[in-house]
Chain A
Amino acid sequence: MSDHLRALADEDLMQLVQRGQAPAFDLIYERHAQAAFSLAYRIAGTRNLAEDVVQEAFLSIWRAGGRYERARGSVRTWVLGIVHHRAIDALRRSAVHETRRASDEGIAERLEGGVRTDVEAARHEEAETVRAAIEQLPADQSRVIELAYFGGFTHTEIAELLDAPVGTIKGRMRLGLMKLRSALEGGQVSLG
């Protein structure tokens, strides 16, 4: 892998990916695979399903590199959006919707520390800020956000689960996200 490639920003690498340059894709994978796998595992709840999701997502990124639009956000946000979409699809297709919950079983390498680079240090700090912001939300708001985003439940399913009107659930989602956004801006998290 050349230093020249390593010096390129994600957005520039994606232009090479669009032209079928595998080394550029290799770097995109290196930079975002951990976040992608962690998100897929958080949603899918099993290692095998998470691996399937990540493989499907990255192959679709390789094959659809031309669909990345710089104006619509960072490559990382785009990649994680694809992973999220595919993980929720996989979750809904699988028979484990009710039973999956992320357990650490079978995953030896939970990364608590080991921060090595400036980028990793910044991401570690960002993760702490996001967790703190979610924890500060009222429980009824963080619950509906987690059930929807990580659990793949629709707002009507959540309304049934929590025995609350649909309008109330939608209101909690909106309010929770507004507060989250404000908290993240206060915490100077790099958004988008």
Chain B
Amino acid sequence: MSAHEQWADTAGAYVLGALDDREREAFETHMAGCAACRREVEQLRVAADALPAGVPQFAPPPELKDRIMAIVNAEAELLAAAGDQADRPPAPAPRRARRPVLAWLARPAVALACALALIVAGVGAGVLLRGDGDMHTVVADTQAPGAQVELRMSDDSATLVARHMPPPPSGRIYQVWLKRPGRDPQPTSVLWSVDAAGSADVAVPGAMEGVESVLVTDEPEGGSRTPTKPPVISARIA
């Protein structure tokens, strides 16, 4: 049996999403080198793509749009505020049930002043750990017990790598901020959470030039334009 014969008739199941993950990956590998299968997939996909047009139509509830646009508008404002430093907002990682935040952290009174105080303490704890060619890693200070967070930087990118990190409190999300000397923390559009194991690899957008430290706070869904909480992560760069 030729490789192609082995996959005969599979294109239909493929465009309908009816292959399991293993078969789908194997078929895609085969397709990469099989023009006949690629052509058949293109032809059959036209029919599969038309299927939604035949379903009974229902109007979505207006409050659904209100919910979606509230998040979109908040993120759009954040993008505008982040300006040139902004990247497109990445989809947050799947989240699990949240741990309640410490009561004192929830008090609005601590907000920005406290945040700035902790920035100083936090960045002081940042240590240049190691250099590896053009890549170097900074151990971040974190307020979450047991959590380990590093900032990994190369010439053109920076990534926060969090392990054993608790998820943000219910209804909130982690947000990345860039702190430059003598300036308030600047918001980024990076909103994120951790997976079930408490892990996340978070790309920090924009150039790191002139950035003194990378901070993370937990903020309301959609993010904030100024920090509303003290940072839970502080990584000093310069």
Q: A residues touching B (Cβ–Cβ < 8 Å)?
A: 18, 20-22, 25-26, 29, 33-39, 41-42, 51, 54-55, 58-60, 62-66, 73, 77, 80-81, 83-85, 88, 102, 107, 109-111, 123, 126-127, 130-131, 133-134, 145, 148-150, 152-156, 158, 167, 169-171, 173-178, 180-181, 184, 189, 191-192
Contacts and interface: CB of A to CB of B under 8 A. Distances in A.
A174 to B, nearest CB: 3
Nearest to A58: B68
A102 B17 CA distance: 20
Given A155-B18, A170-B9, 19 more contacts: A21-B76, A22-B73, A33-B64, A33-B65, A34-B58, A34-B60, A35-B57, A38-B55, A51-B60, A63-B89, A109-B59, A148-B18, A173-B9, A173-B13, A174-B11, A174-B12, A177-B47, A177-B48, A189-B53
9 contacts: A22-B76, A26-B69, A37-B58, A58-B68, A110-B58, A134-B54, A150-B51, A170-B9, A174-B13
B15 A177 contact: yes
Contact of A39 (B15, B55, B86, B90): B55
A145 B16 CA distance: 7
Contacts of A35: 52-53, 57
B153 interface: no
A148 B16 CA distance: 6
B49 interface: yes
Q: What range describes how many residues of B lie at the interface?
A: 35 or more
B6 to A, nearest CB: 11
Contacts of B73: 22
Contacts of B75: 20, 62-63
Nearest to B7: A170
Interface string B2-28: 000000011111011111100000000
Nearest to A181: B47
Report the 6 A-B pairs with minimum CB-CB distance, sorted nearest first.
Answer: A174-B12, A173-B12, A130-B54, A37-B60, A148-B18, A20-B79
A74 to B, nearest CB: 9
Contact of A18 (B15, B20, B65, B88): B88
A39 to B, nearest CB: 4
A150 B52 CA distance: 9
A164 B224 CA distance: 56
A170 B8 CA distance: 9
A64 B51 CA distance: 24
Contact of B86 (A20, A58, A84, A174): A20
B56 interface: yes
B31 interface: no
B58 A111 contact: yes
B13 A29 contact: no
Nearest to A124: B57
A123 B46 contact: no
B90 A63 contact: yes
Contacts of B57: 34-35, 38, 110-111, 127
A127 to B, nearest CB: 5
Contacts of B50: 130, 180, 184, 189, 191
Contacts of A152: 17
Nearest to A131: B54
Given A131-B54, A177-B48, A191-B46, A154 B19 contact: yes
A142 to B, nearest CB: 11
